[in-house]
Amino acid sequence: MLLVLVLFLAGCGSTTALSAPPGVPKTECRTVTIAVNPWVGYGANVAVVRYLLERELGCTVIEKELTEVESWQGIAAGSVDVILENWGHDDLKKRYIDDRKVAVELGLTGNKGIIGWYVPPWLAAAHPDITNWRNLNKYAGLLQGTFLDGDPSFVTNDVALMKNLKLDLTVKYTGSEDKLISAFRAAEANRTPLIGYFYEPQWLLSEVDLVRVPLPRYKPGCDADPKAVACDYQPYDLDKIGRKKFVDSGSPAASLIKNFTWTNADQNAVARDITVGKVPPDQAAKRWLDTHPAVWKRWLI
């Protein structure tokens, strides 16, 4: 009986002993530098992963607020270890993974990314044909000739789309996700005409049921030339990117991040707590983790 107990305890030892790549010895978790891109869904990923890295693996976590492109550059420079939510960027994958071999893919996050054009529900109800992009010029006056975008660093083709689809709308950047959310909330509350860029996963869609305006159907390659693009955005299976030397180091953090996967609903729940509930990120992460132990314990295998 004593032997069985000793073997059981040995098997349930420190979670720092995660699997390293073949041939690489397991190491203690030291410092992990995570790129933090400027939207709250990404911040929700960081909050949950950071909580586990610190409390389960004993890592020291450094966060660096960077745009998407800057994050890839940081990986190449050795100043960033991981990108927790990558939206496509096939050009950057070719440059840094295929050609320079300084980055590697770390698998899917489980999140489905959708980018598109949206109007507030009241506007779609009052003018049902506004959801056909071919009718947008008819409503250009009502929309004051404006199409609203968020942070200029986000993945967007909107300036080229206005030109190539011959639409009488001018792209205006709010400058941040928070301001874009505020604009849509106000447009619905005050019945103000608005069309703009938005995306999933995003907690706002559980509060304001924005109506998408489909563009010409996306086909692989239709957006290959940024200047000539005239189609809708591609759907994304969001993934994670790691610095190759970090992943190959045997750090248990790399294994946890590779195993990290959850749903849009999971991410939105944490993001909403942070944004609407004003809950500190570590507490929002703990709230989710406390109610989903079966999910996150699989990431520690």
* Cβ atoms < 10 Å from Cβ of 57: 22
CATH of the domain at 47: 3.40.190.10
Which pLDDT belongs to residue 4? 37
Does residue 125 share a domain with residue 87?
A: no
Q: Whole-prediction pTM value? A: 0.86
Residues 95 and 123 in one domain: no
Domain assignment present for residue 3? The answer is no
- Name beta bridge partners: 117: 197, 213
Residue at which a domain ends, from 213, 248, 272: 213
Joined tokens for residue 161: 């789309």
Distance in angstroms (rounded) separating the CA atoms of residues 166 and 1: 78
Residue closest to 85 by CA, chosen among 56, 62, 106, 115 = 106
The predicted pLDDT at position 19 comes to 42
Range of the domain at 196: 114-213
206 domain-assigned: yes
Burial (CB count within 10 angstroms: exposed 0-12, middle 13-18, buried 19+), residue 7: exposed
- Give residue 145's region: left, alpha or beta (phi > 0; psi -120 to 50): left
270 and 285: one domain? yes
Residue 142: how many CA atoms within 13 Å on its side-chain side? 17
Structural domain contains residue 24: no
Based on the fold, state whether residues 243 and 101 are members of the same structural domain. yes
Question: Structurally, how many domains does the chain consist of?
Answer: 2
Query: Is 293 inside a domain boundary?
Result: yes
Residue 2 in 3-state DSSP?
helix
Q: CATH no. for residue 150?
A: 3.40.190.100
State the 10-residue block means of pLDDT for the chain, 301 residues long.
Answer: 36 38 61 97 98 96 97 98 95 96 97 97 98 98 98 94 98 96 98 98 94 97 94 96 96 96 97 96 98 96 80
Same domain, 118 and 267: no
Q: What is the pLDDT of residue 35?
A: 98
The residue among 180, 213, 246 that closes a domain is: 213
In this prediction, residue 22 carries a pLDDT of: 42
In a domain, 10, yes or no: no
Is 154 within 8 Å of 236 (Cβ atoms)?
Answer: no
Report the 10 Å Cβ neighbour count for 286.
16
